[in-house]
Structure 1
Amino acid sequence: MTGVGTLRIEDRPVPTPGPHEVLVEVAAVGVCGSDVHYYRHGRIGDFVVEQPMILGHELSGRIAAVGDHVDPTRVGQRVAVEPQHPCRRCRQCMAGRYNLCPYMEFYATPPIDGAFCRYVTIDAEFAHPVPDSMSDEAAALLEPLSVAVTTMRKAHVQPGSSILIAGAGPIGVICAQTARAFGAARIVVSDPLESRRDAVLRFGATEVIDPMVDDVAALDPQVDAFVDASGAAPAVVSGIKAVGPAGHVVLVGMGSGDFALPIGYIQNMEINVTGVFRYTDTWPAAIHLVSSGAVDLDGMVTGRYDLEHVGDALDSDTDPGSLKSIVVPK
């Protein structure tokens, strides 16, 4: 990406892995909403693209080389990449919250390059081995699944619980699948598009709501947890009001920076409101969910593109039938 809405392909040297890193030949990269947002707007909040940057952070591949302090037998291993490099020394890292490291270097977050390319390097422990039964595409989509795993943990979803999810885009659909895998008995998803409501019913939702027609805040019975995967202020407010006493609200979607919340309701009902910013220690759980068949990531792939058509991949979300696009950098 060289500017808003502008892409070019260029040749670069193959990177050399550091002593504790591996070189990964990229096999598949999922297109994320953040990639699209950078491409169309040049920024997400305080993260501003000020120089050419490679997009893409949902990826899988095969280890092509290793650093001096990495087991050489890992060469040839198929892996899913956790696309972050924390400092490991700050207070947040030492507390186990490395996703909140203020010195984080995260793929495709300015100024760090991402994975719409043929080779990348990553810390060896963040290259997670995947079973041969898992496709390259599913292995790449373990990244958004990791967001969903973190979300369900924060939402305290457990067997028999109920959850409302706003937004039936890729993250909403993956959250619905993950809620089902965590044991939720009732999974309600709201989305104004009929095609997306129909799709999420195939991926774990037990009920769907059209927020343009139905009063989400009047959901009866109320749910134990609400997850916003839309970023829309009205969806957040109505979703909070659909949560019962001592329930949990998790904000995942990217949207307005500031808007009014129903503070009185949150206080009186003792609603727990939190956000999700990436993940920590989620790949083992995500690999298990896919390997066991509890979550279907392959079924979500609706488009495949090469590097010459990354622009088409980034614009594929304009198709109502598109759910998840994959770039294969060959």
Structure 2
Amino acid sequence: MAQKPMVESRPETVDNKRVGSSYMPIMYKGLIRAFILLLALAAILPLNATVNFSGLSGAELTQAQELDAKYTQLAQSYSRYYGDAMAFSSHLSAPIARDNLGKFPSLYVGLGIGGSFGRVTAMKSEVDSSLQGNVPSYLVAPNISFNFGMGITRKWDLRFSFFPNVPIALSSDAFGSNTSAEIKFGTYRARMGYHLVEGGFLKPGVTIAGFASYTTGAMSVTQTGQSVTSGSVSLTNVTSKVATNWQYLGIGPEVRVWYDLMFFHPFLGYSLGLQVGQYTTGLNISGDMSVGAYTGTGSIDISERQAARLLSHRLLLGFEISLFLIEIGVEAQVDMVNGLVGGALGTAFRF
């Protein structure tokens, strides 16, 4: 008797999987599966850390592994704080005030730049004091995009922003002496807007919109001539190489309210966003180690990957200046979840 419910429940489970599409739209199910698969792939790679110093064993090896654990925390902090800042900056390159482009075939073509900074203070609080010299003075999170828009009707318009994933050298002043750095990032963002209030001269306008985005990029930092002492372990002539990369899929709604003052157009807005993906960091530390009776040359290699699930509540504030066909926009954004602040400047032809 105890087995009968089990036998009957099996076909019910199978049937639910087969006929579940009758309760949920096929496209909706596909999106959910894609997000779940991305999160699963981001989470399956375990952290890998290796101490490569020949002849190191016993108590000396244990102490070296403790230093390795501290470097591992540094790698994880790089992933988290820089990945979060770059995900936030992906929204910072297309300041918009007068959202209504007008009926087809009205066009909007321009270029925008923006940026934010990772939370260095929070990052240093997570890193062991012996390694805080490896944390840059600033975690610059820039963004650039080419912006295009088209009015479909007076109520609807479509905007698209993109920037190819190309490398850009960063100034060593932001990272300290004996340091070189390079960053590359790509942004692809589509936004469909519906104008609840179309606006006009000396009139307000209100737009609700939805966006979808894909953000990817990487940063590498190389530091030379370092010395590190942690407990009884000493590293000299150290060269450290950090390489972190990220990729996110994002969706979310947005609302903007603006006022048309002919040449000057202030605006306020709010956006709710969900970004999911992964960030990965590799860390290589090479140099001369001294611990106890052991001295030798070698390296510590660390690689780790983390799943990223970012929910943002962003406040938008800015203005736009219209000079006939040319528009110049300025925007500031604040993420109320993690406290990140950023700004954007853009210019465009509108005709």
> Common fold, TM-score beyond 0.5?
no
Q: Which has the higher Rg, Structure 1 or Structure 2?
A: 2
Flag the structure with higher strand content.
Answer: 2
Smaller-chain TM-score bracket: under 0.3
Flag the structure with higher helix content.
Answer: 1
